[in-house]
């Protein structure tokens, strides 16, 4: 995995597979504390104790199509490579929160990558799921919540090309203003 946005895409795919209809993604960069953290919270079916205890093992998966599950183990590995770690909080029938942090300035800390594109892929590909993206950089913040956008749109689907283009612009501008 080359950058954090691809890790995020992968972790959110788990949330979608778990039947979530709301996924909240929070990226916090604190350059004073030298920490970058990523939190992905969903309201999917959650993990049983057995799944939770084994989820970081690359040879553990509840998939039936292949016998390795890499998403969580790769993120955990990436965090550890940058003096960080990853934790899983999950409750059956309530949801799952994945939290990963990294030493911001660490030479092996992967760049965030193209977060706008990752969000567009998720939003356009899953028009019935609400996504919150919040990005805090020191004392500045950008956030977008498709729940509010959906409500404003009324009958127009969130996946219509004009809407997706407007959402893309909003995210690109928001992230540009955040770290000029």
Ligand X SMILES: Nc1ncnc2c1ncn2[C@@H]1O[C@H](COP(=O)(O)OP(=O)(O)OP(=O)(O)O)[C@@H](O)[C@H]1O
- Closest CB to ligand X among 29 and 42? 42
- Closest CB to ligand X among 47 and 158? 47
Residue 90 touches Mg ion, criterion: CB under 5 A: no
In the complex, least distance from residue 82 CB atom to ligand X, rounded to whole angstroms: 19
- Closest CB to ligand X among 4 and 55? 55
| Binding site partner of 55, from ligand X, Mg ion, none, Cβ cut-off 5-8 A by kind | ligand X
What is each CA distance from 54 to 19, 65, 73, 158, in whole angstroms? 20, 18, 10, 36
Whole-angstrom distance, CA of residue 46 vs CA of residue 33: 32
Q: Which residues bind ligand X (CB under 6 A)?
A: 10, 14-15, 18, 42, 44-47, 51, 55, 61-63, 69-73, 96
What are φ and ψ of residue 9, in 5° steps? -55, -45
Residue 44 touches Mg ion, criterion: CB under 5 A: no
Whole-angstrom distance, CA of residue 167 vs CA of residue 7: 21
Whole-angstrom distance, CA of residue 30 vs CA of residue 87: 19
In the complex, least distance from residue 121 CB atom to ligand X, rounded to whole angstroms: 16
Residue 14 touches Mg ion, criterion: CB under 5 A: yes
Written as six digits, the tokens of 176 are 């540009």
Query: Under rule CB under 5 A, which residues in 61-80 are in contact with Mg ion?
Result: 71
Nearest partner of 1 among 117, 133, 112, judged by Cα? 112
| Binding site partner of 129, from Mg ion, ligand X, none, Cβ cut-off 5-8 A by kind | none
Written as six digits, the tokens of 141 are 């913040």
Tokens 């919270």, residue located: 41
- Closest CB to Mg ion among 118 and 163? 118
Nearest partner of 116 among 39, 29, 9, judged by Cα? 9
In the complex, least distance from residue 13 CB atom to Mg ion, rounded to whole angstroms: 6
Binding site for Mg ion (CB under 5 A): 14, 71
């Amino acid at each position: 995995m080359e950058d954090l946005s691809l890790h995020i895409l992968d972790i959110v795919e788990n949330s979608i597979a778990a039947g979530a209809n709301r996924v909240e993604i929070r990226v916090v960069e604190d350059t004073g504390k030298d920490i970058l953290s990523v939190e992905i919270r969903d309201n999917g079916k959650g993990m049983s104790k057995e799944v939770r205890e084994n989820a970081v093992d690359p040879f553990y998966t509840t998939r039936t199509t292949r016998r390795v599950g890499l998403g969580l183990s790769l993120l955990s590995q990436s965090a550890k490579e940058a003096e960080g770690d990853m934790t899983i909080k999950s409750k059956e029938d309530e949801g799952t929160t994945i939290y990963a942090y990294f030493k911001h300035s660490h030479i092996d800390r992967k760049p965030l990558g193209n977060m706008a594109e990752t969000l567009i892929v998720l939003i356009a590909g899953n028009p019935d799921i609400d996504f919150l993206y919040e990005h805090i950089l020191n004392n500045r913040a950008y956030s977008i919540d498709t729940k509010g956008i959906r409500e404003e749109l009324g009958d127009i689907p969130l996946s219509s090309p004009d809407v997706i283009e407007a959402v893309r612009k909003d995210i690109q501008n928001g992230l540009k203003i955040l770290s000029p």
